[in-house]
Amino acid sequence: MRVISPEPKVWCKNRRRGRPSKSESAEIKRWRRRTARPATKAKYPLRGATAETPFGDLKQHRGLQQLPVRGASKGLCVVLWGLLTYNLMRCFTLGVAL
């Protein structure tokens, strides 16, 4: 899986956004090159319709603002159950046969 995300805001006052630092890893350098490509910039706006909608639904309508469990594996389980529920509800709404 390749992450398509904007560069985070820089908290250090001495560093400007878009400028690599000397301590960056090879993965971060590859991510910067990948996100600078025109094809990747064209894909980024599509993220709102694919990734943001289910998480927004879980937050607003299903009450998943704060996880009720502790630990990464349990948190992942809660999120996956929520997404499975979202997908099943979308199938029923759209009339897709399972």
Q: Does a structural domain hold residue 43?
A: no
Q: Does a structural domain hold residue 16?
A: yes
How many other CB atoms are there within 10 angstroms of residue 55's CB atom?
14
Distance (Å, rounded) from C-alpha 41 to C-alpha 44? 5
Give per-residue pLDDT as tens, 28-58: 788 888 888 888 888 888 877 777 788 888 8
Distance (Å, rounded) from C-alpha 29 to C-alpha 47? 22
How many other CB atoms are there within 10 angstroms of residue 58's CB atom?
18
- Is residue 56 located within the same domain as residue 87? yes
Distance (Å, rounded) from C-alpha 33 to C-alpha 74? 34
Q: Does a structural domain hold residue 44?
A: no
Residues 6+ apart with CB under 8 A from 82: 58, 62, 64
- Is residue 90 located within the same domain as residue 62? yes
Q: Does a structural domain hold residue 45?
A: no
Domain that holds residue 9: 1-36
Give per-residue pLDDT as tens, 55-68: 888 888 877 778 88
Q: Is the pLDDT of residue 81 over 70?
A: yes
Q: Does a structural domain hold residue 41?
A: no
- Is residue 88 located within the same domain as residue 59? yes
